């Protein structure tokens, strides 16, 4: 009975690329939803967090239901028998992207993503890099062919965002759409403001 009533689990990975605010805000948006969040944050991400925001790592961790150490390769999310909806890596660094693509995983973040791929669950990579050279593009193509969704944080100017937070929320709203999760922050094309999609 407990298995039937358990909230679905979503893994959130935060790597050291620029744009750690995407991962931090994603956890915040997930808090009111009926989802159990499992966070793994890299040491490089903690450095970037200090460089780009006023947020402390402890605050970001407090937004997750469960936090796993980056070096804990025996964590539940490192096994395919641990059921999850999938994983979002936001932001996803080029190093993490490469590890996930090759299966040569050195951290829990890349291992968890590799598990999501092998179990044919949804993996969304918010790849934060520009410009991209041919090697990057080939690796991204390989990941797409493996089943990953490549979702770079591209602003949706039709939504007429007035703040950086609005731009971030639009991107994350689209990411969560991929899991059938509605936050109410997404401005949808052709729909009045505040209209939520309850058809999923």
The domain spanning residue 165 has which CATH number? 3.40.50.1950
Identify whether 104 is part of a domain.
yes
What is the percent of the chain with per-residue pLDDT over 70, rounded to a whole number?
94
* Residue 188 belongs to some domain of the structure: no
Residue 200, pLDDT score: 38
Is pLDDT at 2 greater than 60 in this prediction?
A: no
Counted domains in the chain: 1
Residue 144 is assigned to a structural domain of this protein? yes
Asked whether residue 196 is assigned to any structural domain, the reply reads no
pTM of the model as a whole: 0.92
- Where in the sequence is the domain holding 19, given as residue range(s)? 2-177
- Residue 191 inside a domain? The answer is no
Q: What is the DSSP secondary-structure string of the chain?
A: -HHHHPPPEEEEEE-SSS-HHHHHHHHHHHTTSS-EEEEEE-HHHHHHHHHH-S--HHHHHHTSSEEE-TT-TTSGGGSTTS--SEEEEEEE-HHHHHHHHHT---SHHHHHHHHHHHTT-EEEEEE--SS--HHHHHHHHHHHHHT-EE------GGG---SHHHHHHHHHHHHHHTTT---S----TTS-TT------
Average pLDDT of the residues in 178-190: 92
In a domain, 63, yes or no: yes
Domain contains 165: yes
97-151 confidence digits (pLDDT tens) = 999 999 999 999 999 999 999 999 999 999 999 999 999 999 999 999 999 999 9
Give the lowest-confidence range in 11-15, 58-62, 156-160: 156-160
- pLDDT tens digits along 69-103: 999 999 999 999 999 999 999 999 999 999 999 99
Structural domain contains residue 146: yes
């Amino acid at each position: 009975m407990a298995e039937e009533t358990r909230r679905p689990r979503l893994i959130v990975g935060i790597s050291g690329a620029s744009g750690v605010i995407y991962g931090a805000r994603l956890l915040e948006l997930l808090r009111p939803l009926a989802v159990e969040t499992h966070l793994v944050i890299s040491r490089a991400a903690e450095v970037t967090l200090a460089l780009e925001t006023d947020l402390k790592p402890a605050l970001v961790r407090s937004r997750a239901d469960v936090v796993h150490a980056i070096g804990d390769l025996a964590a539940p999310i490192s096994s395919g028998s641990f059921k999850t909806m999938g994983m979002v890596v936001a932001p996803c660094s080029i190093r993490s992207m490469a590890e996930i693509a090759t299966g040569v995983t050195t951290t829990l973040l890349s291992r968890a993503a590799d598990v999501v791929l092998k179990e044919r669950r949804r993996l969304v990579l918010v790849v934060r890099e520009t410009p991209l050279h041919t090697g990057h593009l080939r690796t991204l193509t390989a990941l797409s062919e493996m089943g990953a969704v490549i979702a770079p944080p591209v602003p949706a100017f039709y939504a007429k965002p007035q703040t950086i937070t609005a731009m971030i929320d639009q991107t994350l709203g689209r990411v969560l759409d991929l899991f059938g999760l509605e936050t109410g922050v997404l401005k949808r094309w052709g729909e009045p403001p505040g209209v939520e999609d309850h058809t999923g």
